[in-house]
Amino acid sequence: MVEHRTELHRLLAEALIAHLGVVVGGHPVVLPVAFAVDLDGPDQDGTLYVHGSVAAGWLRSAADATVCVTVTELDGLVAARSAFHHSMNYRSAVVIGTARIVEDPDERRHALGLTVDHMIPGRDATLREPTRKELAATAVLAVPLHEASMKSRGEGPVDDQEDIDAGVWGGVIPLRRTAGDPIPAEDASGPVPADVVRRAASL
């Protein structure tokens, strides 16, 4: 279980987006969201934060309801010797819990800063403080990391012996995410900041 939590925390640190599942009007809606994690957050076993516009319909459906936040990194395509054994290498965390709307101003500010730093570590400290208007326009949801399951596959094809004996090729196409050089906005001036350079180099 310790190993499981370590893998979970590593995946959550590496991944950039999550897929949030909410029941809206009786049926599931799954949306891509930015997220952040505070392992020392106020919820059991740590807090996963997502945020959105206060105008977003899914936020109203999520408040105080059970939601599912799934984070997946795809690591490879597994070309087996049969259609049946084709697979993918991946790491995926499924977090299920009651979504709490964060009301406390300090926790909201903290969660939004973590979200910026999750994208680009260190960047939040280089930016001006959010205005009251900006904070009022943003809703923050907290989900406990307590009920989290982790699944992964990270190996070559697992084939039937007769297919191997038949000489069919099997293997893996490894996949990863890479970043290009940062592209300054047309109206940007000055050098690319160190945090952005570091982030691009780390991806």
- Residue 117 phi/psi, 5-degree rounding, is -70, -25
Tell me whether residue 60 or residue 193 sits nearer to a copy of itself (CB atom): 193
Contact call for residue 81 and a copy of itself (CB under 8 A): yes
Contact call for residue 191 and a copy of itself (CB under 8 A): yes
Contact call for residue 63 and a copy of itself (CB under 8 A): no
Q: H-helix or E-strand containing 106?
A: helix 105-119
Contact call for residue 84 and a copy of itself (CB under 8 A): yes
- Closest of 51, 62, 68, 59 to residue 147, by C-alpha: 68
Report CA dihedral (36, 152, 180, 199) to the nearest 10 degrees: 40
Q: Which of residues 130-169 bind a copy of itself (CB under 8 A)?
A: 130-131, 134, 137-138, 156-157, 159, 163-164, 166-169
**Maximum distance among all alpha carbons in the chain?**
68
Contact call for residue 122 and a copy of itself (CB under 8 A): no
Contact call for residue 32 and a copy of itself (CB under 8 A): yes
Q: Which of 12, 21, 49, 144 binds a copy of itself (CB under 8 A)?
A: 21
Residue type, 27: H
Q: Which stretch binds a copy of itself (CB under 8 A): 5-13, 37-45, 70-78, 100-108?
A: 70-78
Do 192 and 109 form a contact (C-beta atoms < 8 A)?
no
Residue type, 43: D
Q: Which stretch binds a copy of itself (CB under 8 A): 3-11, 42-50, 100-108, 177-185?
A: 177-185
Residue type, 87: S
Instruction: For residues 142 and 98, give the distance between their C-alpha atoms in angstroms, rounded to a whole number.
Output: 8
- Residue 74 phi/psi, 5-degree rounding, is -95, 125
Rounded least distance, CB 5 to a copy of itself, Å: 20
Q: Which stretch binds a copy of itself (CB under 8 A): 2-10, 18-26, 40-48, 100-108?
A: 18-26
Interface with a copy of itself (CB under 8 A), residue total 88
